[in-house]
Amino acid sequence: LTAQAATEMPVIPEVQGAVVQGDGDDYTLKFSIGTTQSSAQYRGLEYFEDIVEKRSEGHIQVELFHSAQLGDDLQAVSALQAGTLEMTAPSTSPLVSMFPQFAVFDLPFLFPTPEVADEVLDGEIGDRMLETASTNGLVAIGWAENGYRQLTNSKQAVTTPGDLGGLKVRTMQNPIHLDIWRTLGANPTPMSFAELFTALEQGVVDGQENPWITIQSSKFNEVQGYATESNHVYTPFITLVSERFWKKLPDGYQQLVTEASQQMGDYEREVSRSMNVQIKQELIDEGMKITELTPEQVATFQNSLAPVYDDWREKIGGKLIDDIRAVS
Ligand code: EAX
């Protein structure tokens, strides 16, 4: 399966662009993420490494870390602020406590298609958000895709909110996600992604929600027999740099890192979309019971979540939501 997956995957593109002259100094750029080495995200990082090392002629050495080796999402962000880690790319959701506007991405069923998400993130709204997030020791330079989230659990097939009664669901550390699962009747517990496999394995929680790629690459399917293709939230990844590191970089290298992060984002989205389809099929082949919701069943979830949407619309501000809606 792995060999087959590799042949169908968008290949890593040739590095484009001229060599960039720095200031003669050498730099080490440690880039850490929470997902594993077999994630679409990690493939994106490999491309980033390739671009930055080639175009700086090795003056910037990129070191990649996966599986939260250097800390979970929030710890990695703190490390950027402290200047002990140069780059990370978390989901936007755990960062809502720092950047309240990111909450908009956690609204249920906001993005009808990935292309709409691309248009919003790569357009004026996304640019504005990168600016807003470039504070407190962080420089935000680009977007990539975590993707549409699907519910998994160890107990039973879930096709209606009624099936969720009392189910212990891990959520990201984010108040909207907590509200979503509470409103649907589940019993949500926020925790970092780094703790999740163990919590599922030990039955601390019965279920979780993440895109298909993460479900497989983090081996959640080994401890979760059921999945529901709910597509309830589309989560972006945001690419962040330590401001302390950024200030040391000559302008040309800042430009190079920014371009590389954008190229990484474009490539990673392609890989993610291709893997997503393939991996869903692999999970089915491996015996996971996946329920595909009918449009009517999706509507039932949407209707149940209308109060969450309305409540957070007020807190987030209707203008931003309307601007995003106008894109789709
Ligand atoms: O960033 O916490 C989560 O479930 C995220 O989807 C995961 O960390 C990937």
Q: What is the 3-state secondary structure (H, E, C) of 18-47?
A: CCCCCCCCCEEEEEECCCCCCCHHHHHHHH
Residue of minimum CA distance from atom 2 in ligand 1: 193
Backbone angles phi, psi at 274, to 5 degrees: -70, -45
CA of 242 to the centre of ligand 1 (A): 20
The pLDDT of residue 8 is: 67
Grouping H, G, I as helix, E, B as strand and the rest as coil, residue 328 is coil
| Residue among 235, 240, 276 to mutate when testing ligand 1 (max atoms within 8 A of CB) | 235
CA of 22 to the centre of ligand 1 (A): 35
Q: Ligand 1 — pocket residues by CB below 6 A?
A: 34-35, 73, 90-91, 146, 172, 193, 210, 214, 235
Report the pLDDT value the prediction gives residue 328, as an integer from 0 to 100.
76
Residue pair 155/228 in contact (Cβ under 8 Å)? The answer is no
Structure tokens at 22: 């720095």
Q: How far is the CA of 253 from the centre of ligand 1 (A)?
A: 29
Closest ligand 1 atom to residue 193 Cα is 2
**pLDDT value at residue 140:** 98
Q: For residues 183 and 179, what is the distance between their CA atoms, to the nearest angstrom?
A: 6
What is the best residue among 172, 192, 218, 224 to mutate for testing ligand 1's pocket, by most ligand atoms within 8 Å of CB? 172
Instruction: State in Å: Cα 94 to ligand 1 middle.
Output: 9
Q: Report the atom number in ligand 1 closest to the C-alpha of 94.
A: 2
Residue 323 three-state SS = helix
The tokens describing 134, both together, are: 């470039």
Q: From the CA of 19, how far away is ligand 1's center (Å)? A: 35
Cα of 229 to ligand 1 centre, how many Å? Answer: 17
Q: Which pLDDT score is estimated for 276?
A: 95
240, 137 contact by CB (below 8 A) = no
Among 235, 221, 217, residue whose Cα is nearest residue 153: 221
Residue whose Cα lies nearest atom 1 of ligand 1: it is 91
Measure the CA–CA gap between 229 and 152, rounded to whole angstroms.
Answer: 9
* Residue 7 confidence (pLDDT): 46
Closest CA to ligand 1's atom 8? 193
Cα 210 to ligand 1 centre (Å): 7
End-to-end CA distance of the chain, in Å? Answer: 36
Name which residue sits closest to atom 3 of ligand 1, judged by CA.
Answer: 193
CA distances from 244 to 81, 248, 326 (A): 8, 7, 37
The pTM assigned to this predicted structure is 0.95
How far CA 230 is from CA of 24, 151, 235, 261, 297, in Å, comes to 51, 7, 13, 30, 9
Q: Could you give the count of Cα atoms lying within 13 Å of 189 in the half-sphere of its Cβ?
A: 18
E strands, the chain, are: 27-32, 60-65, 87-88, 138-148, 150-153, 168-171, 187-190, 207-210, 226-229, 234-242, 289-292
Please identify, by atom number, the ligand 1 atom nearest to the C-alpha of residue 149. Answer: 6
Q: What is the pLDDT along the chain (328 residues), one digit of tens a residue?
A: 444 444 467 888 999 899 999 999 999 999 999 999 999 999 999 999 999 999 999 999 999 999 999 999 999 999 999 999 999 999 999 999 999 999 999 999 999 999 999 999 999 999 999 999 999 999 999 999 999 999 999 999 999 999 999 999 999 999 999 999 999 999 999 999 999 999 999 999 999 999 999 999 999 999 999 999 999 999 999 999 999 999 999 999 999 999 999 999 999 999 999 999 999 999 999 999 999 999 999 999 999 999 999 999 989 989 999 999 999 7
Cα–Cα distance, 165 to 155 (Å, whole number):
11
Kindly give the distance from the C-alpha atom of residue 297 to the centroid of ligand 1, in angstroms, as a whole number: 25
What is the C-alpha to C-alpha distance for residues 193 and 171, in angstroms, rounded to an integer?
A: 9
Alpha carbon nearest to ligand 1 atom 6, residue: 210
The rounded Å distance from CA 250 to ligand 1 centre is 33
Which ligand 1 atom is the nearest neighbour of the CA of 172?
2
The Cα-based distances of 252 to 24, 226, 241 in angstroms read 12, 49, 16
